[in-house]
Amino acid sequence: MDQRKGISRRLFLQRATTIGAAAAVPGLLAACGSGVEEGAAPTATGGTTPAGTPTGAATTPAATASVTETATETGTESPTAAAGEPLKIGLLIPTGGVYASLGEDMRNGFQLYLDQHDGALGGRPVEVVEEDSEANPEVGLRKAQKLLNEDRVAMVTGIVSSAVALGVRDLFHEAQVPLIISNAGANDITRAAKSPYIFRTSFSNWQSTYSLGQWAYDNVAQEGMYVIAPDYAAGAEDIAAFRESFEAAGGTVLTGGLPPFGTTQDYQPFLSEIGNAGAQAVFAFFAGGEAITFVQQYRDFGLKDTLPLIGPGFLTDEGVLEAQGDAALGLRTSLHYTPLLDNPTNSAYVEAYEAAYGEQPTVYTVQSYDAAQLIDLALGELGGDTADVDALVDAMANIGALDSPRGPFEMDPVTHNPIQNFYLREVQEVDGGLGNAVLEDLGPFPDPG
Amino acid sequence: MRRPPPWARVAVIAAVLLVAPLPLNDFRTGLLTEILIFGLLAASLDVLVGYTGLPSLGHATYFGVGGYVAALAARGMTDSAPVGLLAATVGALAVAGATGWLAVRTRGVYFLMLTLAFAQLLFSLAVTWAPVTGGANGLSVPRFALLPGDRGLLLDGPLVFYYYVLAAFALGYFLLHRLVTSPFGRSLVGLRENEARMRSIGYSVLGYKLAAFCAAGAVGGFAGALFVQHQRFISPTNVSFEISALVLIMVIMGGSGTLYGPVAGAALVLLIRDELSSRFQHWELLLGLVFIGFVYFLPRGAAGLLRRARPAAATAGSIAGAGGQEASL
């Protein structure tokens, strides 16, 4: 009797601990699955929710669905046989983590162009297949393989992270499937790792930062510049390009920091170093949830009033500006877009975007909008026929100027990277909210390739 | 009722695996390849968790070391896949020897924490040592051939690569099987069941544990190299806690102490991941629910279904043991 009782109690304990483990493991896994690579849960929620909430509201019910049917059969005449069939396009974006709001913006921008063109590109009704890259090169590669080999998409667009872009580069190059990157700025994509099948409607990291050096030397500080960026491809390249241009102008960089990407929630060690090192100004590249955290902590640490903070405009883009609030007011950054740009295309674009999604567009929405435009125009030249991939990428390379909300945009036929102007902007109060007002047009900065 | 002879079962499984990719598209063939690779990884961890009773939460260490060695070998030395495999196995064996020497001196939760610490160390190294590992960006790896030199039979296309991995899997699994059914393997089970008794009858407990640790690490590195040759890309994700935990889940869901169970567990987990991650953002949550269901209703894992009729080897204890350690995390 005693024995049996003992055994059953042991069994019970085993069961209990096992169930406990079962509860613990997925918890850990969930925390670390996104945590290790892309930002622990607190960052994800704390960082992206303020920016992400308005975006997610009601406008995109398909947020979790992988296949978003956007095909509309109505109103598309078929010039060729291929033109009647739906065109499958893969959309590879992060839907969680510190870059979730960027992914959402990219989906919206692409969708807006589709909605304005009866859901068709180049005369073909479009079916978008969405996959989550988790902004992790490993996951991005697996999802890209799925898009190519299982969904058999004709082309892929999206990609936020430079690391993902570099990771999937060989896959697209060898499979000879067009990839239109609508954010990731990894320099190598237009340089050493250039591919005839890969295009970019966004920027190269060099472009987005080199534009700032001379201006910073003339207007902010000649020496004692502290540089900080997350420790992954884009961060390192941004710092290198800024250093290159700032030093070419005659300035000197003091020192810098590379906080781990996606997992840093507390920038205090770096902020104290900035305070102690005798810096005269700070150059920072951050985007998405990390931009919110960094800008807020920079203010909270008392540095905002004493040391000017500059950087590529992702630091204060419209997706994070609201969450940053006063902490961002007065910051000066450089970027190839702001919704406050004064040109007719942009005015119409901002109006349409706000009507559709109830918030300001961002640089990410524009880049994806232009990706859709690039596909539309190139495919239109071929009558919607995707069979000849070489003809398609040739048409894309030689598309010339796009009518982009960002102002001048010309596809460089050699680097497959846009030649575009960069604007020096300042965060100001605009119509009761915050906006990036243009201070100066820094002119065009083509990537040297 | 007579059970069919063992070779008949092996023949059937081999036949199924040989024809399995034929009706599949390239992506599914790739997934099947991945299942074999992770199956081998989980089976190697099973030597520790299921047979020796050492719950390791850092098996990604050896998976990652093997992967990085294979990647660096491919980038700097040779495009021959088997040479890379060999180098990766040796590299992982060396790291397993060094870390195991320390780890086997501890037990239970300390062993678990130490293996986890090694994995985290390596993860940090992979992220920070960018000139060699490519940092968080990872490294792309050129195409592989079977033989070194110019005439080396390019391993091109998912189907060709699948058969290469299948052959490697068969070799790895065969070695693991020989290991656990050998007198050495039975001694490991003895260690798991009653370490004090094994010591008192004269076994070198530390030596046996270290040998098991090295064997598991070496095969783990072998699997890591296969994975990198499959993906042709490596990033610190390969050394991450996510991999360590996922492999342990594969072992437990499949049924520890069986070798074939963890392979089934790998198939289950990867299929769940693939089916869910395209549909839900928080697929880990659903995997967790499935895992809880498994642990509660099938405490011996998927393999328990097969073994129900047979006299059960005492695996349940080791499963709960491994799980128990985890709970105390």
pLDDT of A64 higher than 70: no
Q: Which residues of A touch B130 (CB under 8 A)?
A: 236
What A84-88 contacts at long range (C-beta under 8 Å, 24+ apart), as own/partner pairs, is A84/A124, A85/A124, A86/A124, A86/A125, A86/A126, A86/A127, A87/A121, A87/A122, A87/A124, A87/A125, A87/A126, A87/A127, A87/A154, A87/A379, A87/A384, A87/A386, A88/A126, A88/A127, A88/A129, A88/A151, A88/A152, A88/A153, A88/A154
Those of residues 21-80 in B touching chain A at CB distance below 8 A are 25-28, 30
- ipTM of predicted complex: 0.76
Domains A45-203+341-416 and A206-335+425-444 equal at CATH topology level: yes
Which of A269-273, A439-443, B142-146 is the least confident region? B142-146
Q: If you measure CA to CA, which chain B residue comes closest to A149?
A: B27
Contact A15 B299 (CB under 8 A): yes
Higher pLDDT, A420 or B151: A420
Quote the distance between the C-alpha of residue A20 and its chain's center.
39
Q: Does B135 touch chain A (CB under 8 A)?
A: yes
Contact B288 A148 (CB under 8 A): no
* DSSP reduced 3-state for A435: strand
pLDDT of A24 higher than 80: no
**Cβ(B115)–Cβ(B326) below 8 Å:** no
pLDDT of A294 higher than 90: yes
In a domain, B83, yes or no: yes
pLDDT of A172 higher than 50: yes
Measured CA to CA, the distance from residue A265 to residue A431 in angstroms comes to 32
How far does B242 lie from chain A, in Å, by closest CA? 6
Contact B137 A23 (CB under 8 A): no
Distances (CA, A) of A415 to A163, A187, A204, A377: 19, 10, 10, 19
In this prediction, what percent of chain A has a pLDDT beyond 90? 53
pLDDT class of A228 with cuts at 50, 70, 90: very high
The confidence score (pLDDT) of residue A349 equals 94
Q: If you measure CA to CA, which chain B residue comes closest to A139?
A: B237
Which pair of structure tokens corresponds to residue A126? 């479009």
Residue of A7, A36, A151, A238 to mutate, interface with B, max B Cβ within 10 Å? A36
Contact B284 A64 (CB under 8 A): no
Domain coordinates in residue numbering, chain A: 45-203+341-416, 206-335+425-444
**Cβ(A435)–Cβ(A318) below 8 Å:** yes
Contact B281 A131 (CB under 8 A): no
pLDDT of A308 higher than 90: yes
The confidence score (pLDDT) of residue B327 equals 35
Q: Does A148 touch chain B (CB under 8 A)?
A: yes
Residue of B25, B137, B141 to mutate, interface with A, max A Cβ within 10 Å? B137
**Cβ(B118)–Cβ(B239) below 8 Å:** no
Nearest to B179 by CA among B224, B223, B222, B216: B216
Those of residues 203-242 in B touching chain A at CB distance below 8 A are 231-233, 235, 237-238, 240-242
Contact A132 B316 (CB under 8 A): no
pLDDT of A18 higher than 60: no
pLDDT of A5 higher than 60: no
Within 10 angstroms of residue A223's Cβ, the number of other Cβ atoms is 14
In a domain, B312, yes or no: no
pLDDT of A96 higher than 90: no
Measured CA to CA, the distance from residue A429 to residue A337 in angstroms comes to 18
**Cβ(B79)–Cβ(B144) below 8 Å:** yes
**Cβ(B134)–Cβ(B78) below 8 Å:** no
When CB atoms are compared, the residue of B233, B295, B320 closest to A141 is B233
**Arithmetic mean of pLDDT, A105-112:** 94
Residue of A10, A15, A29 to mutate, interface with B, max B Cβ within 10 Å? A29
The architecture that CATH gives domain A45-203+341-416 is 3-Layer(aba) Sandwich (3.40)
Q: Which residues of B touch A163 (CB under 8 A)?
A: 136-138, 235
Q: Does B98 touch chain A (CB under 8 A)?
A: no
Higher pLDDT, A339 or A17: A339
Q: Does B185 touch chain A (CB under 8 A)?
A: no
pLDDT of A57 higher than 70: no
Report the b/e string of A23-37 with b at 16+ CB within 10 A.
bbbbebbbebbbbbb
Give Dmax (Cα) for chain B.
Answer: 62
Domain count within chain B? 1
Q: Does A17 touch chain B (CB under 8 A)?
A: yes
Higher pLDDT, A302 or B302: A302
In a domain, B124, yes or no: yes
How far does A442 lie from chain B, in Å, by closest CA? 31
**Cβ(B207)–Cβ(B228) below 8 Å:** no
The fold of the A206-335+425-444 domain, in CATH, is Rossmann fold (3.40.50)
pLDDT class of A45 with cuts at 50, 70, 90: very low
In this prediction, what percent of chain A has a pLDDT beyond 70? 81
- The secondary structure of A86-120 as a DSSP string is PEEEEEEE--SSTTHHHHHHHHHHHHHHHHHTTTE
pLDDT of A72 higher than 70: no
In a domain, B324, yes or no: no
Contact A36 B123 (CB under 8 A): yes
| Residue ranges for chain B with pLDDT beneath 50 | 311-329
The confidence score (pLDDT) of residue A14 equals 52
The confidence score (pLDDT) of residue A275 equals 84
- The whole domain housing B191 covers 25-240
Within 10 angstroms of residue A59's Cβ, the number of other Cβ atoms is 15
The confidence score (pLDDT) of residue B324 equals 37
Which bin fits A416, alpha (ψ -120 to 50), beta or left (φ > 0)? left
Q: Which residues of A touch B277 (CB under 8 A)?
A: 132
Sequence-separated (6 or more) residues with CB below 8 Å from residue A11: none
